Every structure is written in structure tokens, then in C-alpha cells.
Amino acid sequence: MMSIKAISLGVACLLCGVQAGPTVKLGNSMTVQGRTSPIASSVAEFLGIPYAEPPVGELRWEPPQPYDPKAQGRSVVNATALPPSCWQYISVHPAMMRTDVPEFMIGKAGMSEDCLTTSVWVPTNAVSQTSDLPVIIWFYGGGFATGGTDVPYQIPTKWIERTQGHIVVSFNYRINLFGYPDAAGVAEQNLGLMDQRLAVEWVRDNIKSFGGNPDRMVIWGQSAGSVAVDYYNFAFADDPIVGGFIMNSGTAHLNQLMSSDVIHSNFTFVAEGMGCGNQPDAASELACMKKVPAEKLENFVATYEDSGDSPSITFAPMVDEKLVFRNYTERAALRALSTLPALISHNVREGYFIAPYSVDGPDPAIADGLSKTYFWCPTFKTTKERLAAGRITHRAYYTGNFSNISPRPWFGAWHGSDLPLAFGTHADFRGNSTALEYETSHAIQDAYVAFAKDPINGLNELGWAAYTGARGIVRAYAENNTVVGYRSLDAIESGCEAEGLA
């Protein structure tokens, strides 16, 4: 029989290798051992907490299952290091983010198929206390193909350090082939979106343990993450869990990110490359593919896509009329979206990151055309439809041109360049920030926290009135060396209407 002393040593050993730091106990009886941030003693970080069962083996390409610590034999989680991101590939071809600002790509934590984790940043003095902090839940972007918790520009430690008044939660969700397989043998194609919903449910069920208020939560996303936020807005209209949405540079009308491969040819193409072709049926094809190592699958996709061979293969959300709908204009007209307020923004040079890359800059006409088609007009269209449905909507326009974020003179306020200001990481790379950059960062941060505290009235109390319709007033950041101003977007909106894009 094992002695009491041996049992005690065994329990203690569960924490072997874990540094002393803030600890919380979750509703599923799992203890999470976090850390005090190495760069900010007033911030506690809980990094890489599993919210779903590892989507590996037979669970690959299956809907996410809530994490069961008993089934995993795991009562303590060492949450003291940034977790690996879900499998993805970074193209070898030159592009703005990869070539000039790689801090927008995932960092050093690596990749894993066992990646469904949440991370929580909270003021140290709020942990394990009866706090009532608002919560911002982050959906990262990356075209549903890249991204993760471990993105240097998207770590909110300094933001939490500055405000001491809110919590940020980030999480990994499956992307690319693993999140959107478009396989004939799969029952659900939009697995990454299902991961997002489960993560939000996890936050609702557990955030009180970290000092957060589950009744004061908003979802914030950028680019594909923002598209996903809008998908969520429609898919969970009757049970959104949260109280509002922040959408940067993307809405459900950015339909170029949807997959149109209704015959499942992309998955079958990869299956053939993996030796899983010529199976008797779709179920056999899927079973074969579940046995292929994740890294081998991702490397095949990466090699083929970077080769430039045609046709290209992409894996992205598909219309299923449950999580992704075919006609968002129709659904908005039917008021089949949540009643929640939204804050929607876009940048002045959105399209520059997808225009043909050159160190001297793209053709401005091409880049501005891409800005209009992919970002400006979809944003305007979404806003108009929200207003017609009676939904409160605030709008913002970012024009900041700061050399440490936009190192080449033609970058300007490109797609995603507002994120380092929101997260407070703008001064971390390529030199310190200007006074205007710091002040603009603080203005963006304060607006997001005010919205999280009170999505209905918070921005009004800052003097930021809701958008009232075409040519209405929009909040402008860093325009003409002014931290915050207000203006209309008449030229953009008129152009969108004239071209039938809104």
C-alpha cells in the first residue's frame, strides 16, 4: 500500500518543473498554474490551457470535444509558456508580412496538431479575487490559413499592464486543411468555426476564476478573424454569449475567403498525393488520411501551393447554412442576426498587403482597388445592412503611418497595422514609437475597453456617436497628425455605391 507521504510527493510532483506563480482552479477541477509576466509584474499570464480534446487520430477532422482532464489524466496544467499554434505553413515567397514585418507571423512556440488551447492575460491583483473585469476575446486573422496565440505583435501584456481594468483571452483554432478540410467523408466542414464557439463557451464557463465577468464579454477579430466574428454574429444570433462585436478589416461580406469547392476536389487531390487515392468510398479516403502524419500533410500543401502550379488548392470556410450562410444581405434583411452592438473599422491602405509585392511598392491604383473590393465596400455594405436592421454600429477609420510598423514609406496604414497599437506592442520592434503613436494606441485601447464594459453606451460616453448612415460620422485615428478626429467617408462610400459594391 502506498504511504501518505508517497501520495503527497506524487501530488507535489504534478507541479514538478512549474515555477511558482498565480494559480486558478477551473470548474472541471483542473488547476492552472500560470506565471507573472516576465516583462510586467502587474500582469498574470495563463498560457496554453486546453479547452478541447486534442484533435488527433480519430478526432482529426471531427467537431471539437470539450477537454476532459480526468480522461487525459491531467489535473494540473503548466500554463507558463506560449503554446504551439495549429498546423500551418508560411510561404517562401516575398510579401509584406513575411519580408518586412514578420512579427505578424507566429513566433517560436512552433506548431502542433494538439493545439486547441486558450490563453488568458489578467491584472495580477484580480486573479482569484471577486473581480468584475470586462473580457475581450480575440479571434486572430490569417486568411483562415495562418495565425495563432503566439504572434509577437498580438500579445496583450503591455495593454493589460497599462489599463489594469480588463482581461484579454486568445485561443488557437484549427485552420487550413485541418480546420476546413472540405472532405466528402466529413460530417462538418467548418471545424475552425466550431472551435471558436467552443472556446467562447470555455471562457463563459471559466473566466470568473480569473477575475472576469462572464456577463461583460465581447469578441474582437481582425481580417479572417473579423469575418469569423461576423459569421458568429449570424450563426449564434439567439445565443451569442457575449455582449458585442469588434470587427477590424473584415465582415461576412468578404466572401472571397469562402471555399467554393463543392465537389471536394482539393481534399481528394491531397489524398492522392498522400497515397490515399482510389479508395472505394469517401469514408475510406478519410480513414486513410487520418493516419497520415500532420506535418506530412501540411508540407504537401505548402510545397504545392508555393510551386505556383495550377489549379491552386485552398481550404477555407464553406457555406453550410448553419455556421456560414450563402446570402448575408438576405439574412440581415430578415433580421436573422444578433441584436448586439458592433464596432467596425477598416484602414486606408488595406489592399497593399495583397497587391503584387515589390520593395518599391505596388501600383497604387491596383492596391486601392483591392482595398475597395475586399475591405472598404464590404465594411460599408455590412454597416448599411446593420443599420437597416436596427443594430447599433460604430465605425472607425485608421490612417496611421508609423515607421516601426510600416518600415517602407509606401506601407502607410496597411492591413493589420492598427493591431500593434491595440495590443500595445508597437514599440517592441524597429525602434521606439512616436508620441502620436503612443497616444493613438491609448485611444484605441481605451475605446475597446469602454466598449467591452458597456457595448451600448460605452463609446457614446467617449464622445463617439454611433454611425447614422451613408456619409455619417466615423472616428478617424492618427489622421493629419491628430490622435482622434471625426469625419465622413463620402468618397469611399459614394464609390462603393456607384460600382454596386454596397
Q: Is 247 domain-assigned?
A: yes
User: Which cell is 223 given?
Assistant: 481580417
Cα 201 → chain centroid: 16
Single-letter residue type at 404: N
Q: What is the C-alpha to C-alpha distance for residues 331 and 325, in angstroms, rounded to an integer?
A: 8
Measured between alpha carbons, how far is residue 452 from residues 213, 215, 297, 340, 474 in Å?
11, 10, 40, 12, 19
Predicted confidence (pLDDT) per residue in 228-287, tens digit: 999 999 999 999 999 999 999 999 999 988 898 888 999 999 999 999 999 999 999 999
C-alpha cell at 340: 448586439
Structure-block grid coordinates of residue 281 = 468510398
Question: Contact at 8 Å (CB) between 153 and 420?
Answer: yes
CATH number for the domain including 175? 3.40.50.1820
477 phi-psi bin (left φ>0, alpha ψ -120 to 50, beta other): beta
Q: What is the largest CA-CA distance in the chain?
A: 82
Is position 482 within any domain?
yes
pLDDT band at 12 (very low <50, low <70, confident <90, very high): very low
Instruction: Show the cell assigned to 438.
Output: 503612443
356 within domain boundaries: yes
Residue ranges making up the domain that contains 218 = 34-498
Average pLDDT over the chain reads: 94
Tell me how far apart the alpha carbons of residues 465 and 468 are, in angstroms, rounded to a whole number.
9
**Confidence band for 471, pLDDT divided at 50, 70 and 90:** confident
Q: What is the pTM of this model?
A: 0.94
- Within-domain flag for 63: yes
Indicate which residues carry an active-site annotation.
Answer: 223, 350, 415
pLDDT average, residue stretch 116-130? 91
Give 75 or 425, the one with higher predicted confidence. Answer: 425
| CA–CA dist 5, 12 (Å, integer) | 11
Q: Is beta strand 76-78 parallel, antiparallel or unpaired with respect to 31-33?
A: parallel
Grid cell locating 170? 486568445
Peptide bond into 181 cis (omega under 30): no
pLDDT attached to residue 27 = 83
What is each CA distance from 48 to 56, 117, 120, 164, in whole angstroms?
17, 5, 9, 22
Give Cα 284 to chain centroid, integer Å: 33
In this structure, is residue 196 part of a structural domain? yes
What single letter denotes the amino acid at residue 198? L
Grid-cell match 500593434, residue found = 420
Percentage of residues in the chain with pLDDT exceeding 90?
88
| pLDDT band of 483, cuts 50, 70, 90 | very high
Q: With cut-offs at 50, 70 and 90, classify the pLDDT of residue 398.
A: very high
Instruction: Measure the CA–CA gap between 29 and 48, rounded to whole angstroms.
Output: 17
Closest Cα partner for 75 from 67, 83, 85? 67
Is residue 5 a part of any domain in this protein?
no
Whether the Cβ atoms of residue 48 and residue 74 lie closer than 8 Å to each other: no
> When comparing pLDDT for 36 and 97, which is higher?
36
Is residue 11 situated within a structural domain?
A: no
**Closest to 22 in 3D by CA, of 160, 208, 210:** 210
* Residue whose cell numbers read 477537454: 67
| Residue burial 169-186, b: 16+ Cβ < 10 Å; e: rest | bbbbbbbbbbbbbbbebb
When divided into structural domains, the chain yields a total of 1
Q: Does a structural domain hold residue 27?
A: no
pLDDT at residue 20, as a whole number: 67
Question: Are 136 and 448 in contact, with CB atoms under 8 Å apart?
Answer: yes
Local confidence band at 129 (pLDDT 50, 70, 90 cut-offs): confident
pLDDT tens, 13-59?
A: 344 444 468 999 998 889 999 999 999 999 999 999 999 999 999 99
Q: Which one, of 382, 93, 438, lies nearest residue 230 by Cα?
A: 382
Query: For the purposes of burial, counting CB atoms within 10 Å of the CB of 502, is it exposed (0-12), middle (13-18) or buried (19 or more)?
Result: buried
pLDDT tens digit string along 169-225?
A: 999 999 999 999 999 999 999 999 999 999 999 999 999 999 999 999 999 999 999
Q: How confident is the model at residue 9 (pLDDT cuts 50, 70, 90)?
A: very low
